Structure 1
Amino acid sequence: MIKKVLLFALFNLTALFATAQQFMLSGRVTDFAGNPVPFTSVYVKGTSQGTASNANGIYRIQLKSGKYQLNFRTIGFTQQTEAIEIAGNNLSHNVSLHVENYALGDKSATADDIIKQAITQRESHLTELKAYRCNVYIKGVQKLLHAPGNLFSVAVSHELQVDTGQNNILYMSESESGFSFKQPGKTKEVMISSKIVGSNNAFNFNRVAALQVNFYQNLFDVEGINPRGFVSPIADNAPDYYRYKLLGCATENGKLIYKIQVIPIREHDPVFTGNIYIVSGDWRIYAAHLFVTQNAGLNFVDTLNINQQYISLTGDTWQPASVSFTYSGNVLGFKYSGYILGVYSNYELAPNFPPRFFNGENIRITQQSLSRDSVYWAQNRPVPLTPDERRNYHRQDSIAKKHNSPAYLDSLERANNKFSPIGYVFSGDSIAHRANKTALVFPPLYRTVYFNTVEGLVLYPTVDYTKKLDSGKQYTITPKLRYGFSDRQFNANIGFSYSYNPHQRGIVYGRFGSDVFDLNSEGSSSLFINTLGTLFFWNKVLKLYRSNFARLGLQRNVARGLLLDGSLEYARRNAMQNTTYFKLLDSKDKEFTSNNPLKPNLPDTTLLFTPNNALTLRLSATYTFDEEYTSTPDGIVYDTNKYPKIKLSYRKGIHTLLGSNVDYDYADVQVFQSHIKLGLFGYSSFVVKAGKFFNSDALIYPDYKQFKGNEGITFDPAIGSFHFLPYYTYSNTAFFEAHYEHDFSGFLFNKIPGLRTLKLEEIAGTNYLAQQSQPGYSEFYIGIQRYFFRLDYGLAYTGNNRVNQGFAFYYGF
């Protein structure tokens, strides 16, 4: 009896195990000529369980024992349904697809009418699904097709460690993520696994949010490819940019599908070319095969193809099944191509998200997700590797194993730590120690040797010592020395910062010693630019003072989006005067001004202020509305904010305590935001600020509110800076300032033949300053920029009187 019971139990357990066990269904998808059909969607009919074929048409999917109907579908071919039975073992099943046959049928339907219906239903399809959760697999590959055979290319290849062999894989990445969405626009991604090898020299989507190809949006934005985005073929204003041609119709899954050719009216607009497939009656997108070229103002790539397919989840609910990008480009003679494939599966509709699930964390990357081994990937990779990709992984893993060996890392460390005189002059130097996680960073020579008329020739050596600790924590110690050969003053100070909570931006910081500071607390000309101006143009700008000080501060996030910062400083401050009038090239009609910005033409014996003590308390609170961020093993990376930030600042000069000679209360509020996207018109940035001294009983010049001005031929392009305002314009009462700048991102120049090839960005902006009992000061400027160079022309007015005009430029190196 016992034996029968045991046998019965064993039989049932075996049957249960066989039912639960997953088996591998694999095969090759080809056309009828035997050519592989890459990136074919393979889905179990009636579900969102699926995968896609690789670049060679090979697919695989894990299924339990049973009978299945599998849909094989891709752009350019008729969907094919295959009956499959898994009977307790792995199965191989190849599929040959028929070329799609879209024939002109009902002649009463026109392309314009169909697109009009799709545009009418666009917004409802955009918002019809209130929430969902799914799994997303992303794979990216980039190959080098050709390298020029000159010495420059050899040097570049060596520097980037690029193998210039034909069709060599430069870059590969794979990631698996759980992705959650909730209207309106709330997303959260938890990365399950990620593997990256090589160097990406174009663009890449390694996160799901960046791969959200949604043509129901009026503008389709590809980060890094075009700053203005591209007009969707069914955008509200799409008929202003496209012509449409009906190529035919066909029936799939009981639905009548229209195939419509999308034709740009103007080839240099940010628009697509290709075909879009629309479902009759629902007027939703069934699939899209669209591409853009250099005519649309692409960056980094010459051609970008986008294929997207939707599947029906339940009745009228459709979601993306897969999306693929294929691209090619040419940079400095290096020709390359690549693809990015995204596969969406296992949709869960109307999920029950816990409270505060969407808390601003857009993506979470754990150390475990970055440490998956080859065994894990072999078992869980939904899209199989091609032979080239397998060889590349094997090669890169071997290289990585060698490069991670102690012997190699030690030799690399010794090589990198060797002193390079030329490198030190232009880019500085560094010494890193891998074992104890420390680094010494020295600034370049041109930031170490200066000249000004107060100190003469100045040696200003400094170094940053950083020690990394566990969990992203670290501390930095920065000693500074300063000696002026003309005033013969030696200054030394040391600073520190300790990041004790990188996930909440918790930092303790401080500095004490002596140094020489700019009288403009907002910053005037850089020490390097001031050196050039003093020696070559007799245009001495910086006004300096000396301070012996001690400062201690603390900052930390106390709630989502709210960052608090506070510091206390005690300083003994002394005015300074010119000690040299050396000119590299003499000029009789130009003379230096004094170090007193209030009396620049008087002798230097007229000091700006007498020696004084100052005990100063500084507090600030910065709030970012709907702040979003990415969590990494080393801390938090804050994303570009969609909404403005607001910052409240308070500064108190504390009287009598520790002999302090200052007594004032100052507060300001500023609202600011950068990179506000305005679609095809580019993006804007602004800063609005207002402040006041509520008490100014004992106020000394270094405590005045200063403004970030400019007097040279170079300028700081940061929003909040003036182009022509004198450096030492200050306020000791109430003020209001506003800055606005718009970058058209090629909107205008792209319409002008010849200019469009330069890919210049047009800029226009204005700055305004109002102070109590003074006429308003305003600036208006236009400019152009490309990469790290910018040239502006502007006009400045005090009231209605023009007080300045001219060109200024910026270089970002």
Structure 2
Amino acid sequence: MLCTKRNTWELFIFIIFYRKESFKNINVKKFIHTISFFIISVFTLVSGITNNAVAQDTKIKGKILDKFSREPIPFVNIVYQNKRNIGTISDFNGEYFLETKSPTDSIIISYIGYKSQTIKVKKGQFQEMNIDLESDDIKLDEIVVLPGENPAHRILKNIIDKKEQNNPDKLDMYSYEVYNKLEIDANNIDEEFKKNKAFKHFQFIFDYIDTSAITGKNFLPIFISETVSDYSYKKNPKVEKEIIKGNKISGVANESVSQLMGQMYFKVNIYDNFIDAFGKGFVSPIANFGRMYYKYYLVDSALIGNQWCYQLSFKARRKQEPTFTGDFWVHDTTFAIKKLQVRIADDANINFIKDLVVNQEYERVDNDVWMLSKDKIFVDFNLSDKKVGFFGRKFTSFKNFKFNNQVDQVVFNEMNNILVDKNATEKDDEYWDKSRHDSLSAKEKSIYAMVDSIKEVPMFKTFVEIVTLFITGYKEFKYVEFGPYFKFYSFNPVEGHRVRIGGRTTYNFSKLLQLDAYTAYGFQDEKIKYGFGTKFIFNLAPLNELRLFHKNDLEQMGISENAFMHDNILASALSRSPNYKLNRIEEYLGYYEKEWFIGFSNRLMFSHRSIFPTDSVQFINFGSNDTMLHLRSAEVTLRTRFAYQEKFVMGKQSRISLGTKYPEIFVDFTAGIKDVIGSSYDYYKIRLNIRHYYNTYPLGYFRYVIDAGQVFGNAPYPFLELHKGNETYTFDELAFNMMNYYEFVSDKYVSLYCEQHLEGFFLNRVPIFRKLKFREVVSAKGVIGELSPENRKILVYPNTLTALENEDGKLKPYLEAGVGVENILKIIRVDALWRLAYLDRPNIAKFGIRVSLQIRF
């Protein structure tokens, strides 16, 4: 688990801007890390910034209404008087926003059939200006409107017909230089917040509050980063490479974050049918089937630069679908997009995101290829309308375009998709002055000094320690940290009340070495349990580490890697029945893991395990009926793991995977060796595990897990495949939730788990559910396996444990299926599950309700 005070920045940035495939692979436990960002960022406001005023942009927000009917007027043109190229149009609600750094004192409002107005504005300030337009009493020649096709539809058809030739990704090869600037702001800072006692001696910081022209909310910048990189693309086979040349991040000096700041994680391609944002497949306004989701209007035509363009506006046909509202300009000859502004629909079924605005501009390079030249994204992230939230702002510009043979192809030979120059975070001010595509404002320059000073504020340091304890479970004391707190107390029928204390060393103790240990005591069995180990961390990216560990403790066999361990207080509290099936296990474990390149690694592991029987799980020799004192195994395992284009955020001694949109593949080869410190069995194992999800827009996304394995040779059932059961009230996606522990065993098996998240596709059509923003999910799980006659005759099996077969000995799969509703109160998922096979067995449930927590946008 990540244990560094600065990593909340990285995860929050990831959540705001990164892709769905990554986010879906972060479970609730990992997501808890991000909660700290919300709390910590509030306290970043009490930082030691310089008390100098900074110049502000001119920002205007408002609504255009008909003076007499009081109806909103869409498509009204609003431009600055001395900057006619800077302007906007009102949306379908008559609302608009406008912002500029250039000095200006007036705006012009114009619309056909209404009198134009020129209105004075205050320079360098935020103003809310609601404007009434009066109809223009002029006589027009008679206009005859003939029935026929909407002219906007004709233009849209041409756009779609020429999408392939205008889409930059149709090129065989291209490259360009990218400049990214990212800013995070705290918003909704009201008077009550300012009066908090924590800010008593820091009131001057509120002089830096600004106002968003988009939302009208006030905000205070708390984070800024800049990145300059070279990006290269090859179509066949599809390869993307990026070299991060320079990276400047306030408060952070972390190579993993440098990777996250690059172009490959911020791409919005309007030519795709679906635009992936926050795990949602938003329908592009120029999707091939766009007319099924949008209404289009031809608004205007004008000369932009030296190119004549049409302006089209659009809005969603139905409520709460993943759609946008906005407008775009399209070239009249090539029908390529010239510029656009899109904004998520007000009622889109998405959590925590109050607003998202994307502005893009394209330029025609070499009078041939249309390339994205500027890209701006604005996100308003709030848990509650009245609580402190966050803005995310990203500005990206592109230049130095090269195509096909002009591209340096050497970069495509690199193993990793993202390369970070070793001096990327050490570039001086002279480098940035020359490399920026756009200069920093005085306000932006002040953010660096503000955020870098956070770590010097005593109050901030104290608060970070509290948050670190909450999210990691450990209390840090410079060289050691104690925890985790959620394992301090638990209870079960074997141990009764159990207490545990443990800890590990920190980065301050050693950069290379980490030591950890714990001890526990059960008041019912009156036995001490313990574990201790060490880890040598040679490198984190690519990973290179050595781990040694020994433990003597109770363990529940036949549970998934996702399940809470028996000594977690949640496992005790959420158990559906008393668990007497815990075995004492004495284990010696060691492994060396080497990542050859990001996403591809090998782990060579040795383990020696002694498993001791209990009253509920005894080991009785099949032939002699003698009770065995223990079972011992010695195993050597070679694991190969491949996760193409996997991303990480790294701490000082550990890292968190942000996942990949490609399948994650594990292949294990294991050899059980006899006569190694008392081990008694020779056997071999092979296992294949594949985990993947893919988008099925507009029907959400599909997730599956395939697990298959075989044991060659003879081994007792604890060393075979004990199929993963679940005897808690929680939903475990990697276990059979209606199967009990110690119910089925195999030495050859194949299992499949699949789940379709429909993201409200059907429920959005039911008014009450549409308002609640519930989302439907369906799931199915199954496993089929064999058990050889030889492996049945080593130990007497417990009464509850059998092979996957019917009474005649023929193979019979285990199946279960369910339907669920997620996004209840935005974080709760409830599944109704049915067991579909082996319904006549004792002490099983044919139907059950399982609950889980999850964070989804």
TM-score bucket of the superposed structures, by smaller chain: 0.7 to 0.9
Tell me, yes or no, if structure 1 residue 791 matches structure 2 residue 805: no
Q: Which residue matches 2:636?
A: 617
Q: Which residue matches 1:714?
A: 730
Checking the alignment, whether the CA contact within 8 Å between 1:135 and 1:176 is kept in structure 2 is yes
Distance of 1:621 and 1:283 partners within structure 2:
49
Distance of 1:110 and 1:612 partners within structure 2:
79
Tell me, yes or no, if structure 1 residue 688 matches structure 2 residue 701: no
Distance of 1:370 and 1:451 partners within structure 2:
49
Amino acid at match of 1:451: F
Q: Which residue matches 1:5?
A: none
SS of the counterpart of 1:543?
coil
Q: Which residue matches 2:114?
A: none
Give 1:520 deviation, angstroms: 2.8
Q: Which residue matches 2:719?
A: 703
Tell me, yes or no, if structure 1 residue 354 matches structure 2 residue 395: no
Paired-residue identity, %: 20
Mapping of 1:39-188 within 5 angstroms?
55-57=100-102, 110-126=151-167, 127-144=169-186, 146-150=188-192, 154=196, 166-167=209-210, 168-184=220-236, 185-188=238-241
1:309-347 per-residue CA deviation (whole Å, 9 max, x = no partner) reads: 111111221101212234546543137656432221221
SS of the counterpart of 1:123?
helix
Give 2:438's match in structure 1, choosing from 373, 380, 383: 383
Q: Which residue matches 2:659?
A: 640
1:291-310 per-residue CA deviation (whole Å, 9 max, x = no partner) reads: 22332234443333322111
Give 2:765's match in structure 1, choosing from 751, 755, 762: 751
Checking the alignment, whether the CA contact within 8 Å between 1:450 and 1:459 is kept in structure 2 is yes
Distance 1:128 1:495, change over 3 A: same
Give 1:463's match in structure 2, choosing from 503, 509, 512: 503
Checking the alignment, whether the CA contact within 8 Å between 1:530 and 1:541 is kept in structure 2 is no
Larger Rg: 1
SS of the counterpart of 1:709?
coil
Q: Which residue matches 1:80?
A: none
Distance of 2:409 and 2:543 partners within structure 1:
26
Give 1:228 deviation, angstroms: 2.0
Give 1:705 deviation, angstroms: 1.3
Tell me, yes or no, if structure 1 residue 313 matches structure 2 residue 365: yes
1:711-755 per-residue CA deviation (whole Å, 9 max, x = no partner) reads: 232232x3x221111111342432221101122233333333343
Q: Which residue matches 2:819?
A: 782
Tell me, yes or no, if structure 1 residue 576 matches structure 2 residue 617: no
Give 1:649's match in structure 2, choosing from 662, 668, 680: 668
Checking the alignment, whether the CA contact within 8 Å between 1:146 and 1:164 is kept in structure 2 is no
Amino acid at match of 1:114: I
Amino acid at match of 1:620: R
Distance 1:111 1:693, change over 3 A: same
Distance of 1:246 and 1:524 partners within structure 2:
53
Mapping of 1:483-562 within 5 angstroms?
483-520=521-558, 522=560, 526=564, 539-558=577-596, 561-562=599-600
Tell me, yes or no, if structure 1 residue 304 matches structure 2 residue 318: no
Unmatched runs of 5 consecutive residues or more in structure 1: 1-26, 41-52, 60-75, 78-103, 578-593, 600-605
Give 1:374 deviation, angstroms: 4.2
1:633-680 per-residue CA deviation (whole Å, 9 max, x = no partner) reads: 97987653333233222333222343322233332222221x322222
Moved more, 371-380 or 126-135: 371-380
Give 1:39 deviation, angstroms: 10
Distance 1:532 1:268, change over 3 A: closer
SS of the counterpart of 2:507?
strand
Checking the alignment, whether the CA contact within 8 Å between 1:525 and 1:541 is kept in structure 2 is no
SS of the counterpart of 2:412?
coil
SS of the counterpart of 2:677?
helix
Amino acid at match of 1:56: K
1:20-57 per-residue CA deviation (whole Å, 9 max, x = no partner) reads: xxxxxxx99996634797699xxxxxxxxxxxx99413
Checking the alignment, whether the CA contact within 8 Å between 1:232 and 1:238 is kept in structure 2 is yes
Q: How many residues align?
A: 680
Amino acid at match of 2:437: P
Amino acid at match of 1:498: F
Amino acid at match of 1:679: Y
Distance 1:749 1:575, change over 3 A: same
Give 1:508 deviation, angstroms: 1.2
Q: Which residue matches 1:268?
A: 320
Distance 1:277 1:459, change over 3 A: same
Q: Which residue matches 2:423?
A: 368
Checking the alignment, whether the CA contact within 8 Å between 2:600 and 2:641 is kept in structure 1 is yes
Q: Which residue matches 1:100?
A: none
Q: Which residue matches 2:127?
A: none
SS of the counterpart of 1:370?
helix
Amino acid at match of 2:174: Y
Distance 1:280 1:206, change over 3 A: same
Distance of 2:829 and 2:203 partners within structure 1:
32
RMSD between aligned alpha carbons? Answer: 4.3
Mapping of 1:238-277 within 5 angstroms?
238-252=290-304, 255-277=307-329
TM-score relative to the length of structure 1: 0.73
TM-score relative to the length of structure 2: 0.70
Checking the alignment, whether the CA contact within 8 Å between 2:722 and 2:746 is kept in structure 1 is no
Give 1:371 deviation, angstroms: 3.2
Give 1:628 deviation, angstroms: 4.6
Q: Which residue matches 1:8?
A: none
Checking the alignment, whether the CA contact within 8 Å between 1:361 and 1:629 is kept in structure 2 is no
Tell me, yes or no, if structure 1 residue 452 matches structure 2 residue 497: no
Checking the alignment, whether the CA contact within 8 Å between 1:326 and 1:339 is kept in structure 2 is yes
Give 1:765 deviation, angstroms: 0.7
Unmatched runs of 5 consecutive residues or more in structure 2: 1-56, 60-77, 89-97, 105-109, 112-142, 211-219, 253-258, 787-803, 806-811
Checking the alignment, whether the CA contact within 8 Å between 1:268 and 1:751 is kept in structure 2 is no
Distance of 1:337 and 1:627 partners within structure 2:
28
Q: Which residue matches 1:13?
A: none
Distance of 1:379 and 1:424 partners within structure 2:
43
Q: Which residue matches 2:801?
A: none
Distance 1:244 1:212, change over 3 A: same
Distance 1:629 1:353, change over 3 A: farther
Q: Which has the higher contact order (CA 8 A, sep 6+)?
A: 2
Checking the alignment, whether the CA contact within 8 Å between 1:543 and 1:596 is kept in structure 2 is no
Q: Which residue matches 1:806?
A: 848
SS of the counterpart of 2:333?
coil
Distance of 2:633 and 2:768 partners within structure 1:
59
Checking the alignment, whether the CA contact within 8 Å between 1:665 and 1:695 is kept in structure 2 is yes
Give 1:439 deviation, angstroms: 4.4
Amino acid at match of 1:430: K
Give 1:432 deviation, angstroms: 4.3
Give 1:373 deviation, angstroms: 4.2
Amino acid at match of 1:731: V
Checking the alignment, whether the CA contact within 8 Å between 2:223 and 2:451 is kept in structure 1 is no
Moved more, 747-756 or 788-797: 747-756
Distance of 1:141 and 1:105 partners within structure 2:
51
Checking the alignment, whether the CA contact within 8 Å between 2:417 and 2:645 is kept in structure 1 is no
Q: Which residue matches 2:475?
A: 430
Give 1:285's match in structure 2, choosing from 328, 337, 350: 337
Distance of 1:316 and 1:328 partners within structure 2:
37
Moved more, 530-539 or 542-551: 530-539
Checking the alignment, whether the CA contact within 8 Å between 2:323 and 2:345 is kept in structure 1 is no
Query: Which structure's residues are more often strand, by fraction?
Result: 1
Amino acid at match of 2:398: Y
